């Protein structure tokens, strides 16, 4: 039987002026509740050495509403406010388990504007979706259908920096594994080529950020000329965000196509464990590494392999994939980065990236 997975379907929607106002108010209340609860937890942890539970934060929220100072919290659905407290609880759980840093306050300008609704706070009927405290359904562009018979468990509404509105619908669905195939492939991530495959193929790197760099620079110069705090500066900021959004959308779409193809064509996919965080600290490489988005490439491969019954294997971070001859196994002392092809003493001539991909595949298969 196909495994059941949680999967989010994201759609764009166009709110009415009343809905946009209601959602903006909800975003603000969610941010306020999160920050106030974080402040109380920090005070208790710092001054008393005491951990505050979710139940205590929820009781405090009720008290804030009844105090008379926060009457506006009654104007929005209570569910997104409770969900904000649950997210804060999860953040502290990860902090105390040493899986993440200490939670930080949400900023109106820098934090993602979003609100999460559970089943009690939305109604889905006849292909429409209506949120609590709203009379009319959202005007959603249903770019793809939800799985037949799927019942949404949560709905997350968000607005990005470019002013676009999105709704993300989380459902449980069964994804049938793909039919087994014999092929296996090694993948060497790069900058000139996004990925070199052990088959000898190189997947070109579209370099989306570089393609729109002139347009981005123009928008940023226009923003710099606007007076701080002015309405024109706010408009210019949205234009800059729009260019960034276009770059991110195109990059994500390309990565989805590449990873889906690799998963469909291969039973085993081998990748290298790259220290991306360290690489982006290099000023000369940071921009190119970020544009290639290797971390997202691997993340997509991980969950798609899990969905479709494929296997993803990872070669060790210190494995010398580029300096090892994939024919005889001889290890070269040093191969500078500007050397893109080399010849081994055994007579084999290698393309640097394809050779690395073949070694990654061999190392990955050996570790299974």
Q: Which of 116, 188, 209, 291 is catalytic?
A: 188
The two tokens of residue 177 are 């594994």
Domain range summary for the chain, segments of one domain joined by +: 4-174, 184-206+255-285+293-366
pLDDT (tens digit per residue) in 84-96: 999 999 999 999 9
- 160 given a catalytic annotation: no
How far is the C-alpha of 131 from the C-alpha of 124, rounded, in Å? 9
pLDDT at residue number 14: 97
Asked if residues 360 and 271 have their Cβ atoms less than 8 Å apart, the reply is yes
- 227 given a catalytic annotation: no
pLDDT (tens digit per residue) in 214-272: 999 999 999 999 999 899 999 999 999 999 999 999 999 999 999 999 999 999 999 98
How far is the C-alpha of 299 from the C-alpha of 126, rounded, in Å? 35
pLDDT, averaged across the chain:
89
Q: Which of 272, 291, 302, 311 is catalytic?
A: 272
303-319 burial code (b ≥16 CB/10 A, e <16): ebbebbbbebbbbeeeb
184-189/4-13 β-pairing:
unpaired
Would you place residue 63 in the very low, low, confident or very high pLDDT band (cuts 50, 70, 90)?
very high
Would you place residue 316 in the very low, low, confident or very high pLDDT band (cuts 50, 70, 90)?
confident
- 311 given a catalytic annotation: no
Does the structure show a pLDDT above 90 at 288?
no
Q: Which of 116, 209, 291, 353 is catalytic?
A: 353
Write the burial class of residue 133 (CB in 10 Å: 0-12 exposed, 13-18 middle, 19+ buried).
Answer: middle
pTM of the model: 0.85
Does the structure show a pLDDT above 80 at 275?
no
Query: Of the candidates 311, 329, 330, which has an alpha carbon nearest to the alpha carbon of residue 271?
Result: 311
pLDDT (tens digit per residue) in 116-153: 999 999 999 888 999 999 999 999 999 999 988 888 99
């Amino acid at each position: 039987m196909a495994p059941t997975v949680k999967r989010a379907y994201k759609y764009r929607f166009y709110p009415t002026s009343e809905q946009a106002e209601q959602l903006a108010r909800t975003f603000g209340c969610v941010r306020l509740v999160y920050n106030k609860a974080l402040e109380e937890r920090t005070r208790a942890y710092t001054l008393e050495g005491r951990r505050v539970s979710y139940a205590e934060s929820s009781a405090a929220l009720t008290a804030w509403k009844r105090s008379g100072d926060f009457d506006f919290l009654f104007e929005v659905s209570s569910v997104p406010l409770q969900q904000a407290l649950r997210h804060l609880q999860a953040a502290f759980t990860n902090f105390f388990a040493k899986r993440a840093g200490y939670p930080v306050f949400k900023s109106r300008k820098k934090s993602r504007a979003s609100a999460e609704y559970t089943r009690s706070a939305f109604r889905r009927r006849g292909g429409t979706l209506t949120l609590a405290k709203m009379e009319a359904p959202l005007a959603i562009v249903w770019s793809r259908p939800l799985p037949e018979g799927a019942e949404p468990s949560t709905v997350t509404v968000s607005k990005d920096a470019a002013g676009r509105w999105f709704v993300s619908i989380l459902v449980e669905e069964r994804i049938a594994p793909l039919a087994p195939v014999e092929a296996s492939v090694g993948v060497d991530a790069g900058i000139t080529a996004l990925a070199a495959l052990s088959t000898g193929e190189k997947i070109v790197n579209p370099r989306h950020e570089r393609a729109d760099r002139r347009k981005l620079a123009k928008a940023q110069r226009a923003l710099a000329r606007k007076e701080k705090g002015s309405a024109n500066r706010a408009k210019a900021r949205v234009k800059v965000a729009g260019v960034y959004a276009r770059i991110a959308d195109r990059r994500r779409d390309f990565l989805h196509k590449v990873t889906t193809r690799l998963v469909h064509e291969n039973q085993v996919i081998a990748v290298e464990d790259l220290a991306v965080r360290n690489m982006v600290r290099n000023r000369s490489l940071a921009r190119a590494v970020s544009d290639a988005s290797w971390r997202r490439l691997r993340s997509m491969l991980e969950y798609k392999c899990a969905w479709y019954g494929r296997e993803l294997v990872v070669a060790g971070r210190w494995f010398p994939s580029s300096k090892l001859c994939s024919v005889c196994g001889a290890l070269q002392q040093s191969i500078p980065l500007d050397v893109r092809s080399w010849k081994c003493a055994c007579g084999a001539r290698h393309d640097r990236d394809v050779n690395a991909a073949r070694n990654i595949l061999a190392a990955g298969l050996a570790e299974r």
